Structure 1
Amino acid sequence: MTATAFAALHRAGEPLLLPCAWDHASALALAGQGFHAVGTTSLGVAAGGGLPDGASATRDETLRLALALGSAPFLLSVDAEDGFSDDPDQVGGFARELAAVGAVGINLEDALGPADRHAEKIAAVRAAAPGLFVNARTDTYWSGDGDLAETVRRLEAYREAGADGVFVPGLTDPAPIASLAAHFDVPLNVLYSPAGPTLAHLADLGVRRVSLGSLLYRRALGAALETAAAIRSGRAPDAPTPTYDEVRALVRA
């Protein structure tokens, strides 16, 4: 299981749909549904540990999950927030640890900090763990003002630093998606939105990776609340539910 195999899944016309797990069972269940690659969701990992997301608070939890999943029979890409440090060397060291436990990809977000600093982190990861597929995320549409020119400027810097793919979560407008996909010689990754383009439409626009982010985790929480409310009101829950033995089998796997 190598980053080369992972990179090969980013195909034009047939983008990689990357579901994101938050624990061992969710990852193995997704792999059991035929997903050859699984990501992690920083929100799910953080919330599961009672910690804030996007605050560099889950370095240990993220590494622990990667250790649990890195030898599993699927390709693992890890959401590492901003690398859990402002020091590029420390980010590179964390990436080296991820590669050592079997991860083949890392997602690094700029959180709209200085683009040159984020580029330095990418370069440090490239040097410390050359086998990792580096997905460079900019938050211009996630928490910024959605400036396309600034998005291009940042992503060009990250590509120059060695990023293998570029990621723009929050972008759902087809026109700029197509423009970015055509502009870069590496795969464009977008975050799926139920209110945005379908997977087939994103493929037509040139997108080669579609991440589900925290959607599955949030849907799982929603299903738990809906089930509890149904039982309390005297109704039987009607959503599909894995059996006890099916969940135990995931742990044995």
Structure 2
Amino acid sequence: MTGFAALHRRGAPLVLPNAWDVASARTLVTAGFSAIGTTSLGVAAAAGLPDGLGATEAGTLRLARSLAALPVLLSVDLEGGSVGAAAAVAEAGAVGVNLEDAMGPVADHAALIRSVKREVPHLFVNARTDTFWQRPGDLAETLRRVRRYADSGADGVFVPGLTEPADIAAVVAAVDVPVNVLFLPGRHTVTALADLGVRRISTGSLIFRAALAASAQTAVAVRDGLAVRSDLPSYAAVNAGPAAG
């Protein structure tokens, strides 16, 4: 975990793109990223499954094992997760996990964090709280939860949906561990988040959703006689073995 933890720096945050399969992960490694995460929405949607309901644990573990050959540090999104799932992805080669509370009882999530750290102490546990995710934000509850999770052994805390600088600064000030923010186009810049003390910036499902939009855009361009971008990866590059960087 030490090398991965060291990437969470004040003033130079870790920008962590999120992959959903081997091809997307390889593309990100080729683009120069030394660490990547997985996106639970991407893994779920690609398999025709719902996100957030724990339906992709087996698929996520298979993906973690498939990515083990890549020269990259891997953090795995386990949704709510379990001790067994965290241990399994660590055995597969992951250096970190993302565990979300889904606004369940604080005590339950804190207990899970303690159990994972006891079972797999070298694994970087990023404890997510959904106090701002697809709901009106609650800063007081956010601070209560991130403090509890940090006190329970979390190596970092993650609050997706944070947008206001004052709220972000308050979360950063509340804990000694790195704060992770979900990048929202038009609302964030890496520079501004770094200035606020954020030490990790995730793309979440953004790249997956952008890929879906690009797929439809390309198909429409072919159908309608419009220009198709010319800087696409070649067939040979995509067809290379999984360990190709």
Q: Could you tell me the TM-score, scaled by structure 1's length?
A: 0.94
Among 201, 204, 209, the alignment partner of 1:218 is 209
Match of 1:82 among 80, 85, 89: 80
**Percent identical:** 58
Aligned residue in 1 for 2:34:
36
**Post-superposition shift, 1:239?**
5.7
Contact (CA 8 Å) 1:190, 1:207: kept in 2 or not? yes
Structure 1: gaps of 5 or more residues: 84-90
State how far apart, in whole Å, the 2-side matches of 1:250 and 1:107 are: 28
Aligned ranges 1:26-175 → 2 under 5 Å: 26-83=24-81, 91-175=82-166
Per the TM alignment, residue 250 of structure 1 is displaced from its structure 2 partner at its CA by 5.1
Once the two structures are superposed, residues 151-171 of structure 1 have per-residue CA deviations (whole angstroms, 9 ceiling, x without a partner) of 010111111111000000000
Q: Conserved in 1, the CA contact under 8 Å of 2:69 and 2:243?
A: no
Provide the rounded CA distance (Å) in 2 between the counterparts of 1:250 and 1:196.
Answer: 38
Contact 2:69 2:242 in 1 (8 A): no
CA distance in 2, matches of 1:17, 1:145: 26
Check the 8 A contact 1:80/1:108 in 2, yes or no. yes
- Letter of the aligned partner of 2:101 in structure 1? D
Give the aligned partner of residue 23 of structure 1: 21
Q: Does 2:221 align with 1:230?
A: yes
2:239 partner SS: helix
CA distance in 2, matches of 1:170, 1:156: 18
Distance in 1 (alpha carbons) for counterparts of 2:237 and 2:71: 18
Opposite residue 140 of structure 2, the aligned amino acid is A
Distance 1:147 1:195 in 2: 22
Offset of 1:235 from its aligned partner?
A: 1.5
Distance 1:42 1:242 in 2: 25
Letter of the 2:175 counterpart: F
Once the two structures are superposed, residues 149-190 of structure 1 have per-residue CA deviations (whole angstroms, 9 ceiling, x without a partner) of 100101111111110000000001111101211221000000
Query: What displacement does 1:134 show?
Result: 0.2
Taking the aligned partners of 1:9 and 1:126, their CA distance within structure 2 comes to: 20
The answer to whether the 8 A contact 2:75-2:97 is kept is yes
Q: Deviations over 1:182-204 (max 9, x none)?
A: 22100000000002121000000
- In the comparison of the two structures, how many residue pairs are matched? 244
Tell me whether 1:13 sits opposite 2:11 in the alignment. yes
Q: Secondary structure, in 3 states, of the residue corresponding to 2:2?
A: helix
Q: Distance in 2 between matches of 1:239 and 1:117?
A: 50
Q: CA RMSD in A?
A: 1.1
4+ long deviations beyond 3 Å = none
Q: TM-score with structure 2 length normalisation?
A: 0.97
Deviation of 1:32 after TM superposition, in Å, equals 1.1
Equivalent in the alignment of 2:199:
208
**Equivalences for residues 169-188 of structure 1 within 5 A:** 169-188=160-179
Match of 1:193 in 2: 184
Q: Could you tell me which residue of structure 2 aligns to residue 87 of structure 1? A: none
Q: Distance in 1 between matches of 2:241 and 2:138?
A: 44
Q: What are the superposed Cα offsets for residues 218-241 of structure 1, whole Å, 9 maximum, x if unpaired?
A: 000000000001111111312631
The alpha-carbon distance between structure 1 residues 195 and 239, as it changes in their structure 2 partners (threshold 3 A), is farther
Deviates more, 1:208-217 or 1:243-252: 243-252
